[in-house]
C-alpha cells in the first residue's frame, strides 16, 4: 500500500482524463490543453507555485466612476511597458504582481522614461511580513513598497526559480550600493465593476482569485471555472477589459512565462469569477 501511494504522489498532476472531460464540456468560452509549463509536474511541484489560500483584508474600498470604454487594453496602448516573467517553483506571485504593476505604472505614467523592471527577489528575500517562496499578502507587499521600496531587477535579479529564497542582500549582485524606489499610498478599488474599469484606464491593478484545478489546463479564451476543486489562491495584474461573443472579461498578466496561456496573459469572465473582484489594489505615485 505504501509503495502504491508513493507512485501516485509522483504522477503528473495534469492528466489526459481531466483534459478529455474539459474538451467535451459544451459551450466552453475557453480552450484547454496540458501546458508545457506544467507537463509532468507532480501535485506538490505545482502547489509550491501557488498561494495556500486567497486572503481578504479589512480595508475600506474606494469607488471611482466616470466614462469607460467598451474595451481597453494597456498592451495595445503601451506594449513596451509590460514584461512577463516566470516565477518557477516559488509561490512568489504576490511579489511579481506587486513589482510588475509598480514597473508598468511608472512606465505608463512616464515616471520612468521607459520600462524599468524592479526586483521581485528583493521583496521575496527582504519583506519579513511575508513568507518568501511560501507566499505573501497583497497589502503587506504594497506596504513594503511604500515604506522600504525596492531596487531594480538589474541590481537584484530573480534567483528563486527552484523555490529557495536567499537571504536579504545588502548590496546589488555586482557589489554596488542598493538604490531604492518607493510607491505612494495604496487602495482597494474593487467596489464595483465600474470602479475597476475606470481605474484600469489610468493604470494596472493587482488582484487575486481562487485557483481551481481546471485553470491549470487553460490555453486561451475567456476562462470560467467548470470542474475540479480549489487548489489555492493566485495573484495577478489586471491590464484591461473587453467583451467577446457577448461574454465580458478582464485581461490579466500572469507570471508563468510567455509560453503559457495567451503569451503569458489570460482572460477571465467579469462578474467576480473565482472571486477576482473581491479585492483589488492600486499603488499611487504619492
Picking from 151, 147, 215, 214, the residue whose alpha carbon sits closest to that of residue 185 is: 147
Residue 20 within any structural domain of the chain: no
Question: Is pLDDT of 10 > 80?
Answer: no
Give the mean pLDDT of 252-280: 97
Q: What is the pLDDT of residue 229?
A: 95
Residue 151 within any structural domain of the chain: yes
Residue 197 within any structural domain of the chain: yes
Q: Indicate the pTM of the whole model.
A: 0.94
Residue 233 within any structural domain of the chain: yes
3-state secondary structure labels for all residues of 168-210: CCCCCCCCCCCCCECCCCEEECCCCHHHHHHHHCCCCEEEEEE
**Number of folded domains that form the chain:** 1
SS3 label, residue 151: coil
Confidence of residue 8 (pLDDT cuts 50, 70, 90): low
Q: How many CA atoms lie within 13 A of 142 on its CB side?
A: 23
Residue 15 within any structural domain of the chain: no
Alpha carbons 74 and 175: distance in angstroms, whole number: 36
Domain that includes residue 203, residue range: 29-283
Confidence of residue 54 (pLDDT cuts 50, 70, 90): confident
- The residues annotated as belonging to the active site are 93, 234, 254
Q: What is the CATH number of the domain that holds 275?
A: 3.90.70.10
Residue 163 within any structural domain of the chain: yes
SS3 label, residue 82: coil
Residue 4 within any structural domain of the chain: no
pLDDT digits (tens, 9 = 90+) for 90-110: 999 999 999 999 999 999 999
Q: How do strand 265-269 and strand 218-223 relate by DSSP bridges? A: parallel
Q: Which residues pair with 237 in a beta bridge?
A: 253
Per residue in 59-72, is it b (16+ CB within 10 Å) or e — as a string?
Answer: eeeeebeeebeeeb
Confidence of residue 55 (pLDDT cuts 50, 70, 90): confident
- The CA-to-CA distance between both ends of the chain, in Å, stands at 60
Residue 18 within any structural domain of the chain: no
Amino acid at each position: 500500500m505504501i509503495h502504491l501511494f508513493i507512485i501516485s504522489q509522483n504522477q503528473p498532476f495534469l492528466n489526459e482524463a481531466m483534459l478529455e472531460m474539459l474538451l467535451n464540456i459544451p459551450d466552453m468560452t475557453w480552450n484547454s490543453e496540458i501546458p508545457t509549463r506544467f507537463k509532468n509536474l507532480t501535485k506538490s511541484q505545482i502547489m509550491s507555485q501557488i498561494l495556500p489560500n486567497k486572503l481578504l483584508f479589512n480595508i475600506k474600498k474606494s469607488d471611482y466612476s466616470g466614462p469607460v470604454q467598451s474595451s481597453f487594453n494597456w498592451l495595445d496602448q503601451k506594449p513596451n511597458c509590460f514584461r512577463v516573467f516566470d516565477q518557477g517553483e516559488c509561490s512568489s506571485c504576490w511579489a511579481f504582481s506587486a513589482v510588475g504593476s509598480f514597473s508598468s505604472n511608472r512606465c505608463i505614467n512616464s515616471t520612468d522614461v521607459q520600462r524599468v523592471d524592479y526586483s521581485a527577489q528583493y521583496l521575496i528575500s527582504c519583506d519579513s511580513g511575508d513568507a518568501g517562496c511560501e507566499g505573501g499578502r497583497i497589502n503587506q507587499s504594497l506596504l513594503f513598497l511604500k515604506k522600504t521600496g525596492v531596487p531594480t531587477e538589474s541590481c537584484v535579479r530573480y534567483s528563486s526559480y527552484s523555490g529557495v529564497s536567499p537571504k536579504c542582500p545588502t548590496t546589488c549582485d555586482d557589489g554596488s550600493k542598493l538604490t531604492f524606489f518607493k510607491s505612494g499610498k495604496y487602495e482597494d478599488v474593487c467596489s464595483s465593476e465600474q470602479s475597476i474599469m475606470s481605474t484600469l484606464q489610468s493604470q494596472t491593478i493587482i488582484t487575486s482569485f481562487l485557483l481551481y484545478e481546471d485553470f491549470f489546463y487553460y490555453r486561451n479564451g475567456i476562462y470560467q471555472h467548470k470542474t475540479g476543486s480549489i487548489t489555492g489562491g493566485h495573484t495577478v495584474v489586471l491590464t484591461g477589459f473587453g467583451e467577446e461573443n457577448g461574454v465580458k472579461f478582464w485581461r490579466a498578466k500572469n507570471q508563468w512565462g510567455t509560453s503559457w496561456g495567451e503569451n503569458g496573459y489570460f482572460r477571465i469572465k467579469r462578474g467576480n469569477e473565482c472571486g477576482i473582484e473581491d479585492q483589488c489594489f492600486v499603488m499611487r505615485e504619492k
